[in-house]
Amino acid sequence: MVQSDNRQQGVLRSLDWWTIGIYLALLTFGWISVCGASYTYGDNDIFSLGSRSGMQIIWIGTSITLGFIILLLDDRFYDTFSYVIYAALVLLLFATIFNPHSIKGSRSWLVLGPLRLQPAEFAKFATALAISKFMSSYGFNIHRMKDFFAAAFIIILPMICIVGQRETGSALVYSAFFLMFYREGMPGSILFTAVAMVVYFVVGVKYENVMMWDGQTSVGEFIVLLLVQIFSTGMVSTYIHNGRQTVQMLLYTVGITLGCMLFSVYVIPFDVTYVQLIVSFVLIGFLFYQGLSARIRNYYFIALFALGSLAFFYSADYVLNNVMEPHQRVRINVLLGLEEDLAGAGYNVHQSEIAIGSGGLQGKGFLNGTQTKLKFVPEQDTDFIFCTVGEEEGFLGSAGVLLLFLALIIRLIILAERQPFKFGRVYGYSVLSIFLFHVFINVGMVLGLTPVIGIPLPFFSYGGSSLWGFTILLFIFLRIDAGRNLVRT
């Protein structure tokens, strides 16, 4: 009994109270924002359980209780039962696909009487535990293809189930785990490839119908093919360390492309991208040949990068125009500035930008926002709750909220780096990655900088599932961190 009491005292002393303080501050500001977003002129009691703000108090109270319970459990519990928790949540995700209840076209909610739960929110901490357990196992090496793909499968499996529930936005959140992979040694080339794909897609789609001076060549296709050539030659310099060969490849590829462009402009107009494709395939063939002759494996990877870049670019264009639903295509076009559609796909973002802009420097004050009180912004107390912060608290309040999230992110980095075991570090960076993804994408979509994919802002958006999910995710890490200095018996 004495040993147990001493252990609990040790846990309390080791708890990171700074993080708990930030958590409580975010909960407080989140509740204020829910009040502002859900308040209607004439309402007298914001604490009534019949109101969204009143119910949010219940969710906050139960979340704090849940966090306290998590802190009471032995930190070794989460390591021991990681796979069991993961398997249970994946089965629940799979079962939810066949859920008869459809809410706004999504089957991601389980309806239990008056209570609605979204398993995808809880699967985040289960996936984080499972991936931490797997990556901390003896002999794991992220540079070994078998281990890397096995770890990736742990992440992709719940994503597939969530996509089956027609909840693409929630599924995309799980891609945040690959940021943790990078910290744990994943080659930077994989992260660079992901960024390059985004660049190809944005540039290719945005400037697809813009023609160059010759009137025959698409600016978007021309730039993407030129980037593929430049990126590939740059990777030769980085991973092969052959500066002379890099310069030669760059002179040939870019030189031929620019020469053909000048010929098309001043002599005979033609589509330069045909020449670029030929040059790109010659470049790929040269890289494979160098790999065979020099017996350097990195040549093959660079060649596959170039080939994959071409395949992705042309397949992405096909998927956008022939596979995606019209409303999805419109959302992308609105984001890229190709369409306005202020009455349709761009309505939410347009109204949220108006609300944020109207707040000015200091905001209109608590419960005084006109855009939110008159319900101009759809989903203003869930996915678009940050516009309420901007309208009522202004630039200063919005900056303060973002600084709080920044403090949380920095604190999580500090806690993750001080873990004595790999399990704790991997889990910590998984938590960090998920929070970072949510904040970046949610605030970005409210400001019109990222696609509208419908994910909540941690501790701010109304609802029990997201609040419980984020609390469990965070407090498991706090409990693991609190046990870092305990003497094991």
3-state secondary structure string across 51-91: CHHHHHHHHHHHHHHHHHHHHHCCCHHHHHCHHHHHHHHHH
Partners of 115 in the beta sheet?
A: 112
Would you say 18 and 366 are in contact if contact means Cβ atoms under 8 Å apart?
no
pLDDT in tens, 188-243: 788 888 888 888 888 888 888 788 776 788 888 899 999 999 999 988 888 888 88
How far does Cα 409 stand from its chain's mean position?
14
Residue 112: phi, psi to the nearest 5? -115, 85
How far does Cα 299 stand from its chain's mean position?
31
pLDDT, the chain, mean: 85
Residue 110: phi, psi to the nearest 5? -100, 125
Q: Reduced to 3 states, what is the DSSP secondary structure of residue 122?
A: helix
What is the spatial distance between Cα 215 and Cα 446, in angstroms, rounded to a whole number?
37
Would you say 404 and 396 are in contact if contact means Cβ atoms under 8 Å apart?
no
pLDDT in tens, 257-282: 888 888 888 888 888 889 999 999 99
Q: What is the mean pLDDT of residues 139-157?
A: 92
Residue given tokens 């796909």 in the structure block:
345
Residue given tokens 């604490």 in the structure block:
47
pTM score, whole prediction:
0.85
Q: What is the mean pLDDT of residues 85-102?
A: 86
